[in-house]
Amino acid sequence: MSKEKKGKETENQIEEKRSQIKISVRNLVEFIFREGDIDNRHGQSVSPEAMLAGSRMHRRIQKRMGSDYHAEVPLKLVIGEENYDLVLEGRADGIQITSESEREIDYSSNFNSMTIEEDMNVVIDEIKGVYLKLEQLAEPVRVHKAQAMCYAYIFALQHDIERIGIQMTYVNLDTEEIKYFHEDFTFAALEEWFDDLIRAYKKWSDFQYAWRILRQESIQKLQFPFPYRKGQKELAAGVYRTIKRKKNLFIQAPTGVGKTISTVFPAVKAVGENLGDRIFYLTAKTITGTVAREAFELLRKGGYQAKIIQITAKEKLCMCDEMECNPVHCPYAKGHYDRVNDAVFQLLLQEDVFSREVLLEQAGKYQVCPFEMSLDVASWVDDIICDYNYVFDPNVYLKRFFAEGIRGDYIFLVDEAHNLVERSREMYSAEIYKEDFLAVKKIVKRYRPGIEQQFNHCNRILLEYKRECEKYKVYDNIGNLMFYLMKLASELDEFLQRSTEFPERKEVSEFYFGLRNFINMYERVDEHYVIYTEHMEDERFKMKLYCVDPSLNLQECIDRGNSAIFFSATFLPIQYYKNLLSTKKDNYAVYAETAFSEEQSLLLMGSDVSSRYTRRNQSEFERIAQYIQKTGLAKKGNYMVFFPSYKMMQQVYEVFQELDGGNVEAIIQEPGMNEEKREAFLAEFSAEREKTLIAFCVMGGIFGEGIDLKKEQLIGAVIVGTGLPQISNEREILMDYYEKRMGEGFDYAYRYPGMNKVLQAAGRVIRTIDDVGVIELLDERFLQSDYRNLFPKEWEKRLVCTVDSVETYLEKFWEEKQ
């Protein structure tokens, strides 16, 4: 096909607005040209490239170039297939245009529309930041060269150029050393190569087109699967409007609203109206992911044609005894990339829902890694249920969707979004320990004595910081340390590239990845961070890059999609969450009406008890134990009691056992319970028994949220204390940060996170319209306006009691429910 003919067809197809299949240049070449093994033994990653750390280096190199160099040039090509347009887009790192004659070129005009004369030379520059020593690089990496060739083809086609050059610019991110590879191509050679590339991809784009027609038609007829509950229709409509306007929404949705289906259904309908193309349902826990999968399954039963995957953690999918991802230790890693595309394509033709069992069976059949295959399958599905990490964590996020920086037609549904505050602080923070440098130095010097000096430089500086630190110390700048950390990381990278097998490799690799993470996170450090050192209780010395305000980092991720819907049963105060989860000031917020009546529950506040540290004594424990006993004996049933700490829980438990004398059965949560013990603990709430069951639990722990005990399984929760996080250096840093900026230090560091735990614990009691139960808040501080202002609307009807009057209120409530 001639350049003229292809160009004309492209223009006509754009005007007709035909169905489009989009893919980025990077994803296309990586998908088609990948080959060989999965191998975790080579430094930073399977690929030597490091995108996160390389972005600023790109800008540095681009700024050094002259006026004839154009940086970050967006390129797009629309290829007309029989039934649809394949839209290929990307961003060339640089395009350099020079003239062989003395004639001046006007670089100020619109770059993409400028005319390229015969005497002009055009070079497409592709910059790659790497960690390996550049002398090890004898030729460009195949997919990197292919990316540059794609950009060269698109630019040559659109500017009628017969000859064009590409330049691969490799820069070592530690030393800033640069190595170039240059190659010239005729347009005819590029066209032949490019047509082969598109032919190889055509079966995939044909599949996408055909499946999308089925999906869109099925959505048109789709109905809400239940009669709408009170407030549910308005909530669903609000979600749809938000997606249509490409905004973000924060929903405070009390238990019973049916928030999962109320967000999934309008998101699916929005996809049917071409307001998005893929839904990410993001969760903090596996259990909420299961609920989401059930919601999508309901819609499928109603006729919804969709491909759905719930991404399972790598360790749960691994088919080997030990998770060693390299061809020496894992048969599925060897030749994985040679077989995985065939495995994925066949699976897409066979299945619509990709469960753990389905993925494992297909991976075994094709001898590929099930986890890596599951990520590839995710590229082709309509709905992805996954942990927050896969969208927000810079070390884990799905690069297939988010690495290019190009906005996708994604809708993000963020469940239990109150958890995202602390989770995102962890994602964007990084820490190193002085003692680790000494331990790893002892290992490495046996195999590579020359590295010892780099460890010593880092250790010496950390020792100086250690001497300066009494309790904890905040720093504005640690540039002197970062210089030596980068040098050490560079040496370790080369060591790990060359030394693929030695007994302590895993320990050294973990240290190396932690070091790289620290260096990469330092690139993000700004006014949203606090750098501090601290003496740990185990006598280790820590330096941390602490992301106290994750909003900017999260917003970058949110901006990769069309719209984000954040929802939780405990989103109070809403402004706190809006400030920490997004930087936008025009986000919407709604308070969904509860489907439950006030008569279903009794809310009591004990005025004669406190969990303050100064009040934690024998007499206080006895009073709390009396509350628990009277509550349990007022009506036989199952109750949970939540405490602010394991220590206080144990103290009251011992007092209670002595006071009660066996009138009720009591069980207690243990620290670090495995899955088997958790299931056994929860099974107690379904067992037949003659006595009341009292379960002693920790607020904010594994039983404080995310469990669903309905009807007679749980009829009461006693909440001891306001849930304030334990005082720590990090909490004090957090308090100081928000006090200086907003005058709300205590609220942001302690009160708001604490009340969230309280609200979550209380939310265990009423789960359905048939549930009846008691909620007791045992702490005099709940009577203060600072706490009462954080109560949800459904807590407007509440009573104040003492240990002497609580029995009367309980008896009256349960008599009315007879």
Q: Are 85 and 18 in contact (CB under 8 A)?
A: yes
Q: 136 is written with which tokens?
A: 């090890």
Domain of residue 468, CATH code: 1.10.275.40
Instruction: Measure the CA–CA gap between 69 and 483, rounded to whole angstroms.
Output: 30
| Of 496, 515, 516, 509, residue with least CA distance to 447 | 496
Residue 10, pLDDT score = 41
For a pLDDT cut of 70, what percent of the chain falls above it?
A: 93
Domain boundary among 188, 206, 224: 206
For a pLDDT cut of 90, what percent of the chain falls above it?
A: 75
| Of 32, 34, 28, residue with least CA distance to 75 | 28
Residue 116, pLDDT score = 76
pLDDT digits (tens, 9 = 90+) for 516-565: 999 999 999 999 999 999 999 999 999 999 999 999 999 999 999 999 99
Decide if 727 is inside a domain.
Answer: yes
Instruction: Examine the pLDDT at 106 and tell me if it is beyond 60.
Output: no
Instruction: Measure the CA–CA gap between 545 and 431, rounded to whole angstroms.
Output: 6
Instruction: Measure the CA–CA gap between 723 and 319, rounded to whole angstroms.
Output: 41
706 with 736, same domain: the answer is: yes
Edge to edge, the sheet with strand 529-535 lists 430-433, 541-547, 529-535, 472-475
Looking at the 3D structure of the chain, how many domains does it have?
5
pLDDT digits (tens, 9 = 90+) for 66-100: 677 888 889 999 999 999 999 999 989 999 888 87
Decide if 455 is inside a domain.
Answer: yes
Instruction: Examine the pLDDT at 14 and tell me if it is beyond 60.
Output: no
Residue 405, pLDDT score = 61
Half-sphere exposure at residue 126, Cβ-oriented, CA atoms within 13 angstroms: 26
CA distances from 83 to 184, 206, 207, 385, 550 (A): 35, 9, 12, 30, 44
| Of 6, 35, 26, residue with least CA distance to 150 | 26
Q: 140 is written with which tokens?
A: 């460009």
Decide if 121 is inside a domain.
Answer: yes
pLDDT bucket at 1, cuts 50 / 70 / 90: very low
783 CB-near residues (< 8 Å, 6+ apart): 605, 607, 800
Average pLDDT over residues 8-33: 73
What string of DSSP letters covers 693-713? Answer: EEEEEETTSTTTSS----GGG
314 CB-near residues (< 8 Å, 6+ apart): 323, 371
Please give the helix or strand (H or E) that residue 120 lies within, else none. strand 120-130
Residue 354, pLDDT score = 97
Residue 17, pLDDT score = 67
Instruction: Measure the CA–CA gap between 469 and 397, rounded to whole angstroms.
Output: 35
Q: 639 is written with which tokens?
A: 């109750």
Instruction: Examine the pLDDT at 515 and tell me if it is beyond 70.
Output: yes
Domain boundary among 563, 578, 595: 595
Residue 706, pLDDT score = 82
Instruction: Examine the pLDDT at 488 and tell me if it is beyond 50.
Output: yes
Q: How far apart are the first and last CA of the chain?
A: 82
10 Å Cβ neighbour count for 315? 8
Instruction: Measure the CA–CA gap between 143 and 222, rounded to whole angstroms.
Output: 42
pLDDT bucket at 40, cuts 50 / 70 / 90: confident
CA distances from 498 to 42, 351, 455, 770 (A): 8, 42, 19, 65
Give the total residue count for the chain: 818
604 with 733, same domain: the answer is: yes
Decide if 786 is inside a domain.
Answer: yes
333 CB-near residues (< 8 Å, 6+ apart): 37, 38, 39, 325, 326, 327, 369
> Phi and psi (nearest 5°) for 734?
-60, -45
Phi-psi region of 217 (alpha: psi -120 to 50; beta: other; left: phi over 0): alpha
Domain boundary among 547, 574, 607: 547
175 with 33, same domain: the answer is: yes
Q: Are 387 and 426 in contact (CB under 8 A)?
A: no
Half-sphere exposure at residue 563, Cβ-oriented, CA atoms within 13 angstroms: 27
Instruction: Measure the CA–CA gap between 394 and 516, rounded to whole angstroms.
Output: 12
Residue 135, pLDDT score = 86
Please give the helix or strand (H or E) that residue 112 lies within, else none. none
Instruction: Examine the pLDDT at 698 and tell me if it is beyond 80.
Output: yes
Instruction: Identify the bridge partners of residue 249 per DSSP, sorted by sequence position.
Output: 565, 588
Residue 4, pLDDT score = 45
DSSP state of 725: P
SS3 readout for 528-583: CEEEEEEECCCCCEEEEEEECCCHHHHHHHHCCCCEEEEEECCCCCHHHHHHHHCC
161 with 16, same domain: the answer is: yes
Decide if 345 is inside a domain.
Answer: yes
Instruction: Measure the CA–CA gap between 292 and 671, rounded to whole angstroms.
Output: 29
101 with 194, same domain: the answer is: yes
Amino acid identity of residue 286, one-letter, is T
Residue 9, pLDDT score = 44
Residue 82, pLDDT score = 93
Q: Are 132 and 172 in contact (CB under 8 A)?
A: yes
Q: 289 is written with which tokens?
A: 């992911």
Q: 404 is written with which tokens?
A: 């290019």
735 with 810, same domain: the answer is: yes
Domain of residue 288, CATH code: 3.40.50.300
248 with 189, same domain: the answer is: no
Q: What average pLDDT does the chain have?
A: 91
pLDDT bucket at 131, cuts 50 / 70 / 90: confident
Cis, peptide link before residue 266, omega less than 30° from 0: no
Amino acid identity of residue 756, one-letter, is N
> Phi and psi (nearest 5°) for 602?
-115, 120
pLDDT digits (tens, 9 = 90+) for 598-610: 899 999 999 999 9
Please give the helix or strand (H or E) that residue 662 lies within, else none. none
Residue 104, pLDDT score = 57
Instruction: Examine the pLDDT at 46 and tell me if it is beyond 60.
Output: no
Pairing assessment for the beta strands 69-80 and 85-99 based on DSSP bridges: antiparallel
125 with 270, same domain: the answer is: no
Decide if 657 is inside a domain.
Answer: yes
Instruction: Measure the CA–CA gap between 421 and 423, rounded to whole angstroms.
Output: 6
Q: Tell me the chain's radius of gyration from C-alpha atoms.
A: 30
Instruction: Measure the CA–CA gap between 631 and 648, rounded to whole angstroms.
Output: 19
Instruction: Examine the pLDDT at 113 and tell me if it is beyond 80.
Output: no
CA pseudo-torsion sign 63, 64, 70, 75? negative
Instruction: Measure the CA–CA gap between 450 and 292, rounded to whole angstroms.
Output: 53
pLDDT bucket at 445, cuts 50 / 70 / 90: very high
* Domain carrying residue 659: 598-816
Helix (H/G/I), strand (E/B), else coil: 743: coil
293 vs 403, higher pLDDT: 293
Q: Which range among 173-187, 270-284, 678-692 shows the weakest confidence by mean pLDDT?
A: 173-187
Provide the angle, in degrees to the nearest 10, between the axes of the packed helices 452-468 and 479-498: 150
Instruction: Identify the bridge partners of residue 588 per DSSP, sorted by sequence position.
Output: 249
> Phi and psi (nearest 5°) for 514?
-65, -40
Instruction: Identify the bridge partners of residue 98 per DSSP, sorted by sequence position.
Output: 121
Instruction: Examine the pLDDT at 102 and tell me if it is beyond 80.
Output: no
Decide if 147 is inside a domain.
Answer: yes
Q: 278 is written with which tokens?
A: 């893929």
Q: Which range among 48-62, 120-134, 348-362, 605-619 shows the weakest confidence by mean pLDDT?
A: 48-62
Q: Which letter, b or e, does each residue of 674-690 get, where b requires 16 or more Cβ atoms within 10 Å of its Cβ? A: eeeeeeebbeebeeeee
Instruction: Examine the pLDDT at 47 and tell me if it is beyond 60.
Output: no
CA pseudo-torsion sign 35, 39, 44, 45? positive
pLDDT bucket at 597, cuts 50 / 70 / 90: confident
144 with 250, same domain: the answer is: no
Average pLDDT over residues 43-50: 42
720 with 797, same domain: the answer is: yes
486 CB-near residues (< 8 Å, 6+ apart): 173, 174, 519
Decide if 627 is inside a domain.
Answer: yes
511 with 454, same domain: the answer is: yes
**Helix-then-strand count for the chain, H and E:** 29, 25
372 CB-near residues (< 8 Å, 6+ apart): 38, 336, 340
Residue 112, pLDDT score = 63
pLDDT digits (tens, 9 = 90+) for 139-174: 999 999 999 999 999 999 999 999 999 999 998 877
590 with 613, same domain: the answer is: no
